[in-house]
Amino acid sequence: MDILLAVGTAQASQWMNAVVHVLPHARVRAWTSGDKAHADYVLFWKCDAAALVPRDGLKAIFNLGAGVDALIPLLRTASCDAPVYRLEDAGMAQQMADYARYGVLHHMRRFEDYRRQAAACEWRALNALHRRAMPVGVMGLGRLGEHVARTLTADGFIVRGYSRSKKHIEGVETFARNDGIDRFLDGLHVLIDLLPATEDTRNILNMRTFARLADGACLINLARGMHVNEDDLLEALDTGKLGFAMLDVFAHEPLLTAHPFWRHPRVMVTPHISAATLIDESARQVAEKIAALEEGRTVTGLVDMQRGY
């Protein structure tokens, strides 16, 4: 079996070692410019569209991340119509839950206000929020969002969830897109974004969305920067409609030095680290899926090109 590894990041050699380890009987090669030779499977992340050219014998492409928004336009450029599978959790869900929980607790215990008070040496106890009186909303109830919603529910928070199709998650009040988004948003104290980046979700975090939240609410964006209308977010923070934003993802990454988010007193920026891809765990998942495909078994994580995720 021929595996073509097309990884355009500094982790390329780590990926090579991990893939050779989990697929010891395969011939694994790294993509180099001009390679159009046979491959059964292409494993792709942040590489050149030329690696995606239609190939003799190509059975599937594996996206070595959860989001396929960067891959889809490259597939079009390369006129590639092979099935695409993406990573499902592979250790990312727990990291997302850790990040989300940190943000929710930060908001509940008013640490942002205490940080400001401390800067002025002000010793003053504030009224804490109560976890049962500060509903938290999770947008996107897929592999990552569902885990975050379950974790926060187990922590005793009142959790709502929003997805395209209707979900049933014990303890979580769920809303489907067709129900409209307003009832999901109304009065939320924390809004956590774990939607995929598609044309339907572009700019979904805008002034109309923020207006429905509780005053002083907290936004945690763990998904993609294209979801945010940045001018609206800055205005909502400046007027106090939003009290705090934890932003891990941006429309343009890395975030430019001049970007106002870096210096905004109510924004915390992290550099797209809320859920790192765990290479060994992810390589194992890909190997298991390849084995299943080879045996004709059904494999989850197939990307629906029409929906865009």
Give the catalytic positions in this structure: 224, 272
Q: Looking at the DSSP assignment, which residues form a beta bridge with residue 228?
A: 205
Among 192, 248, 289, 290, interactor with ligand NAP by CB under 6 A: 248
With contact defined as beta carbons under 8 Å apart, do 247 and 261 qualify? Answer: yes
User: Which two three-digit tokens encode residue 139?
Assistant: 């947008």
Q: How far is the CB of 110 from ligand GLV (least distance, A)?
A: 30
Q: How many residues of this chain interact with ligand GLV, rule: CB under 6 A?
A: 4
With contact defined as beta carbons under 8 Å apart, do 247 and 268 qualify? Answer: yes
**Binders in 37-66 for ligand GLV, by CB under 6 A:** 65-66
Q: How far is the CB of 248 from ligand GLV (least distance, A)?
A: 9
- Helix (H) or strand (E) holding 63, with range, is strand 60-63
Residue 44 exposed, middle or buried by CB count within 10 Å (0-12, 13-18, 19+): buried
Q: How far is the CB of 168 from ligand NAP (least distance, A)?
A: 12
Q: How far is the CB of 308 from ligand NAP (least distance, A)?
A: 8
Q: How far is the CB of 179 from ligand GLV (least distance, A)?
A: 27
Is 165 among the residues that bind ligand NAP (CB under 6 A)?
yes
Residues near 37 by beta carbon (within 8 Å), at least 6 away in sequence: 2, 55, 56
Q: Identify the CA nearest to 56 among candidates 4, 6, 11.
A: 4
User: Which two three-digit tokens encode residue 214?
Assistant: 């509780």
Beta strands in 146-209 (DSSP E): 159-163, 172-176, 190-193
Residues near 258 by beta carbon (within 8 Å), at least 6 away in sequence: none
Among 110, 150, 164, 189, interactor with ligand NAP by CB under 6 A: 164
Q: How many residues of this chain interact with ligand NAP, rule: CB under 6 A?
A: 30
Q: How far is the CB of 13 from ligand GLV (least distance, A)?
A: 20
Candidates 42-50, 55-63, 115-123, 188-196; binding stretch for ligand NAP (CB under 6 A)? 188-196
Query: What 3-state class would DSSP assign to 257?
Result: coil
> What span, in angstroms and rounded, lies between the C-alpha atoms of 187 and 159?
12
Q: CB 182: neighbour CB atoms within 10 A?
A: 11
Among 153, 174, 201, 209, interactor with ligand NAP by CB under 6 A: 201
Is 274 among the residues that bind ligand NAP (CB under 6 A)?
yes
With contact defined as beta carbons under 8 Å apart, do 165 and 140 qualify? Answer: no
Beta strands in 104-235 (DSSP E): 136-139, 159-163, 172-176, 190-193, 217-221
- For ligand GLV, give the closer residue by CB, 60 or 66: 66
Residue nearest to ligand NAP (CB): 142
Instruction: Look at residue 195 and give the partner it binds from ligand NAP, ligand GLV, none, a contact being a CB closer than 5 to 8 Å depending on partner kind.
Output: ligand NAP
x/- letters, 112..151, toward ligand NAP (CB under 6 A): ----------------------------xxxxxx------
Provide the binding-site residues for ligand NAP, judged by CB under 6 A: 66-67, 92, 140-145, 162-165, 177, 194-198, 200-201, 222-224, 248-249, 272, 274-275, 309
What does the binding site for ligand GLV look like in residue numbers (CB under 6 A)?
Answer: 65-67, 277
